Chains A and B, each alone.
Chain A
Amino acid sequence: MRHLLSTGDLTRDEAVLLLDTAEEMRSVAERPIKKLPTLRGRTVVNLFFEDSTRTRISFEAAAKRLSADVINFAAKGSSVSKGESLKDTALTLQAMGADAVVIRHGASGAPARLAAAGWIDSAILNAGDGSHEHPTQALLDAFTMRRHLAPGQHGLDGRRVAIVGDVLHSRVARSNALLLSTLGAEVTLVAPPTLMPYGVDSWPVETSYDLDPVLPKADAVMMLRVQRERMNAAYFPSAREYSRRYGLDGKRMAKLPEHAIVMHPGPMNRGMEITADVADSTRSVIVEQVTNGVAVRMAALYLLLSGARDAASENTSDTTEGQA
């Protein structure tokens, strides 16, 4: 792996390696000293063109636990709003010697541009681009599912996952649909037809316009954030109607099998796509997702910057195996 741009680029072996490495990283968090020397002397830049405190903090914690130097670069405004262009920002980071750039950008494909345009040599980690992908979110979701639904196994073979909500605009849904099917899970996307992407028939998933029949068979249900403003663009008539047809409340949650888990990538609209009692219920793994996010991002940074070696047992003799 040179970059992490899309979960569609990951083979099953690579995806499993990322999850296994994240397991090791998570065990580090249970040690008295939660820090590995692995990326000492390496520089990781968090380049955020969009505000996302939670994702930025998660990457920052991950990089610091691997002893990397972390630079947070909040690039307010892109070239769209006549700020500094993506290219000039990239040239600046290149000149500073960034080893990895974690990029969050409002434009789909901005990380792919950084990786391919020749402006910068760093490893590029996509931390969410437009309505395209958010690979580390999908990895932490898969990691969380594997711990609960398939402990001790490599993949998620045969597990049924429902992803519910604004699939059209969701980078989380795209990354999850690709990754979970690579890992053997059966994914069902649930959304009103207006929020289902054009051409979704070609995706490796099932689809449903109706939430209720999907729930009794689901091992995990992932609720996506739905912006209230979408109703102004006629994607649905009202927030109330959306909640009634696609929201997860206590009554719907009762249709889930005993072992099923409820997930949400956050931030939640309590009362919109998920009710407070569901979000705070014992089935909810939403807070655990955040914990796992750090472990998964440690794994991604580690594998991109150090190559595939045994992470937790590594000592300070780490040095030469740089990226290409």
Chain B
Amino acid sequence: MTAYVIRNAHVLGTQVADLRIVDGVITDIGADLDTTDAEVVDATDLVALPGLVDLHTHLREPGREDAETVETGTRSAAAGGFTLVHAMANTDPVADTAGVVEQVWRLGREHGYCDVAPVGAVTVGLGGEQLAELGAMADSAARVRVFSDDGKCVSDAVLMRRALEYVKAFDGVIAQHAQEPRLTEGAQMNEGELSGVLGLTGWPAVAEEAIIARDVLLAEHVGSRLHVCHLSTRGSVEIVRWAKSRGIDVTAEVTPHHLLLTDELAASYDPIYKVNPPLRTADDVAALREALAEGVIDIVATDHAPHPSEDKDCEWAAAAFGMTGLETALSVVQQTMVDTGLLDWAGVAERMSAKPAEIGRVAGHGRPLAVGEPANIVLYDPRSTRVVRPEEAVSRSRNTPYAGRELPGRVVATFLRGRPTVLDGVVVEEVAA
């Protein structure tokens, strides 16, 4: 395999060094490394981070290949600097058996742009009634450790308790989509002054917070590990903070869009801003940023949710929930967390690589940039800016909420186990070995 020397990178935004990569492993870090027999990648003024890990991606395959496939989704992930994504289970068929998770995992391996760790469904068909074969998925080649009915909440308290207990046998985690179903029937946007004026059915913060409160208490009671998906309100932050102070084993994620966008955007009635959980208030956004900086919220996860254009080119109520996010995640985190002084690049690496890999219990990802570690690396130019153009998306779908917006930063290169999946900002074709 080709050797690479990455020249003059700002490792985690601080020390300038060269990195030598041989056979998928970082073999040397230092000044003026020997470039004999190696391809040189100039990283002057670029930040080197460990390859990003997403705990929450929708790849849509099998079933909705018109929106995204494992191939297009992992290309999109690579373009965003990711080397591993967790593929959510709400496909068709649902990823609730060893067969489906193995298929998704294998497709990721075959295409080679980005590793795929399938998430298994908690309940059969996301039906919320019967546990899926969690152990079979854990024991499969896909080695599933994260289980979620994402898109739907495991709202039955007994079922949630049993799931939390059961996955302890293989060190799994339940990633809960916290949404009390009765409180959100027909809900369209954050319940607040604006929903009342717009005549859109409100989605109260309490519908999220009540489930999180219940779940942290359940997790405490049975001594299990709980992960909270896409936390979106100040109240949710307070509950997680309280739970952590009690020693409850809970982790939480926030999406880039909840760090940047607010419910005011719904006033346009443009469903590009329709998402689950809904965009919240500026006060919630401030609380989420603070919590991410403090570590109350552990990680950033994209909730990349591709949809074909007809599912957004319609009236608000008819539109699908969700927005794409893989290719803009790092830029949005730079804008909201780094450029604001809330996080340094080491903090970003922790929250977008090391910690999500730890929660997902995946080996070989989220490792430090150090000699002997796997060469999963992203080179990022924080000084450039770009205007987001949906038609330039690598993802098959165009439903980005940032169209026309200027965002800072650009992923210049991504290395997956020493092989570039992105070079000069462009996805490398046919990376598969």
Contacts and interface: CB of A to CB of B under 8 A. Distances in A.
B269 interface: yes
A108 B196 contact: no
B197 A174 contact: yes
Contacts of A86: 314-315, 318
Given A113-B269, A132-B198, A198-B202, A108 B316 contact: yes
Contact of A199 (B192, B269, B315): B192
Please classify the interface of chain A as helix (H, G, I), strand (E, B), loop, or mixed, using the class held by over half of its residues.
mixed
Nearest to B188: A108
Contact of A108 (B192, B199, B270, B314): B199
A171 B199 contact: yes
Interface stretch (A65-73, A77-85, A215-223, A290-298): A77-85
B317 A199 contact: no
B200 A109 contact: yes
B429 interface: no
Interface residues on A, range: 20 to 34
A215 B202 CA distance: 31
Contacts of A202: 193, 197
Nearest to A114: B315
Given A112-B269, A113-B270, A200 B318 contact: no
Contacts of B317: 80, 106-109, 130
Contacts of B195: 198-199
Interface string B180-210: 0000000010011111111110101000000
Contacts of B192: 198-199
B268 interface: yes
Interface residues of B, number: 23
Nearest to A233: B185
A131 B199 CA distance: 5
Contacts of B199: 108-109, 129-133, 171, 174
Contacts of A130: 199-200, 317
24 contacts: A8-B197, A80-B318, A85-B310, A86-B314, A108-B199, A109-B269, A109-B316, A109-B317, A110-B316, A112-B268, A113-B314, A117-B270, A117-B313, A129-B199, A130-B317, A132-B198, A133-B199, A171-B199, A197-B196, A198-B195, A198-B196, A198-B204, A199-B196, A202-B193
Interface of A: 8, 78-80, 85-87, 105-110, 112-113, 116-117, 129-133, 171, 174, 197-203
Given A78-B318, A79-B315, A198-B192, 15 more contacts: A8-B197, A79-B318, A80-B318, A105-B315, A106-B317, A107-B317, A108-B269, A108-B316, A109-B315, A110-B316, A117-B270, A117-B313, A130-B317, A171-B199, A198-B195
Interface of B: 188, 191-200, 202, 204, 268-270, 310, 313-318
